[in-house]
Chains A and B, each alone.
Chain A
Amino acid sequence: MNMRVNWVALKTLYIKECNRYLRIWIQTLVPPAITMSLYFVIFGNLIGSRVGQMGGFSYMEFIVPGLIMMAVITNSYANVASSFYSTKFQRNVEELLVAPVPNYIIVLGYMGGGVSRGVMVGVLVTIVSLFFVDIQIHNMAVIISMVLLTSMLFSLGGLINAIFANSFDDISIIPTFVLTPLTYLGGVFYSMSLLPEFWQNVSKINPIIYMVNAFRYGFLGVSDISLFNAFGIVSLFVVILFTIALTLINKGVGLRS
């Protein structure tokens, strides 16, 4: 099929996905803004004022990039996991499967929807954070590219989760038991330099530490991890997860009997 046909199909799927989360904005956009406001008040203002400096910045300044990234990660993941699983559950994934839509377009379309929600929530949380702290920008290109790569990665993660899921419980297991611990241990609330050397090395297995640190670099100009490593690892994960998602859909795992 020609590129124009594929482009129209991709555009349709992307708009459909965006309409979905915008239609239910009270469930998709408002909760992260409220949750992050609570984090800012409790960890930033109340507890943060007693913590003092972290990495040369006030605790509030230090955690803002991490909290924005946390919102981006959870929302990108949840968007695709929930949307794709609902599509499977209602069987309207068949609308896509019977149409001449190449499988890579399906992956890109869902990933686009997840990235879009992740970025939108990221912007909302950033706006909320302005009520608590004056945000400085050190490198806008790093901020934008890392937020895009991160939301791509977790959208693909959500898609893979939804492909395997057989019930709504299955799409909450990974976020609860894997994603949340990794995020909390991913340097959102502390600098890696506070950890003993052994745990610093263990932390490097956690991909979220690379995203949070690179993103924080974009705001504050400091990072526990080299930017080159961070972009390299996150990009590598995006490629790997994209390939896995595409292979699973090509094989019809969870979609075709």
Chain B
Amino acid sequence: MKALQITGLKKVYKGGVEAVKGLDLSVEEGDFFALLGPNGAGKSTIIGVISSLVNKTEGKVEIFGYDIDTHLELAKSQLGLVPQEFNFNQFETVSQIVINQAGFYGIERKLAKVRAEKYLRQLDLWEKRDEKSRHLSGGMKRRLMIARALVHHPKILILDEPTAGVDIELRRSMWTFLQDLNKQGVTIILTTHYLEEAEMLCRNIAIIDKGIIVENTSMKQLLKKIEKETFLLDLPANSEVSGLDGFEYRMIDDHTLEVVVAKKQSINSIFAQLSQQGIEVLSMRNKANRLEELFVELVNQNPQNPGAKS
């Protein structure tokens, strides 16, 4: 079953800004789906329309088969939303926020308290349950929004940049939490600027730019499109590389070599050539996330962009 089906979605804001231009998108039940795009691509508008925070101009949106035009309340009850901005009451306590949200979904207070405890414990917020939300750290506020979005047991969870501004340790624990949730059958749609995050978590991906989809495929297929990767090699100080046959390269400083490796080329050849020149490779790393390079390339190819490369 389709968890989400969007057909011909258009959104024109007052003033004529066309944020979404006839977009079609579908997400299967149980998927972990990435919605990527540069700032202003239309991701938050799409999420706004799905969650009824933004009125659409044209098109059809169905959540687990429920059309938001004809069965809005049923469609809403399938959905949990973790928005980009903190949007809870700053003067309410952590547990009040979660329990009240459960109440808005028709969950009786007794059960709401049980569920609130479950999710606040899972997200390491139980000790903070009586704290006013404004006293929480940024990471805790993000986790509070996740607990709030889950309290009614949604079948589909949409997270709009959930790990923005969150430290690495916490980000990784949130990844584990989301992966576990997905294994339990919750469909997850994620927008993020951390492409490493999308690559690690998501099975399918749509890249949006200027209100249209420029790529919609599985993560595996997308990664196959990567034609080349750029590596940085740490060499001993004052190393002089006299040449690397078949490779595009440059010395960034006296001990860092940047090499572009095409898909068909072997990295072993770099090591062999450097070894012949008596240069030892101390360590090696990707210059950028491999998906990042492809992302930039795809966005640059979008005909909607001025100066797009085809």
Contacts and interface: CB of A to CB of B under 8 A. Distances in A.
B77 A100 contact: yes
Interface string A78-118: 00000000010011101111111110000000000000000
Chain A interface size, under 10 / 10 to 19 / 20 to 34 / 35 or more: 20 to 34
B53 interface: yes
Contact of B81 (A8, A16, A98): A98
Contacts of B14: 257
B81 A5 contact: no
B106 A8 contact: yes
A50 interface: no
Contact of B108 (A8, A23, A96, A101): A8
A23 B96 CA distance: 13
Contact of A91 (B52, B87, B91, B100): B87
Contacts, number: 84
Q: Give the dominant DSSP class at B's interface.
A: loop
B106 A92 contact: no
Contacts of B74: 1, 100
A99 B87 contact: no
Contact of A9 (B54, B81, B96, B103): B103
A111 B90 CA distance: 22
A101 B104 contact: yes
B221 interface: no
Contacts of B104: 9, 12-13, 95-96, 99-101
Interface of A: 1-2, 4-6, 8-9, 11-13, 16, 19-20, 23, 87, 90-92, 94-102, 252, 256-257
Interface of B: 13-14, 48, 51-55, 72-74, 76-77, 79, 81, 83, 85, 87-91, 96, 100-101, 103-109, 148, 152
15 contacts: A2-B106, A9-B105, A12-B109, A90-B90, A92-B87, A92-B89, A94-B83, A94-B87, A97-B52, A98-B51, A98-B81, A100-B76, A257-B14, A257-B48, A257-B54
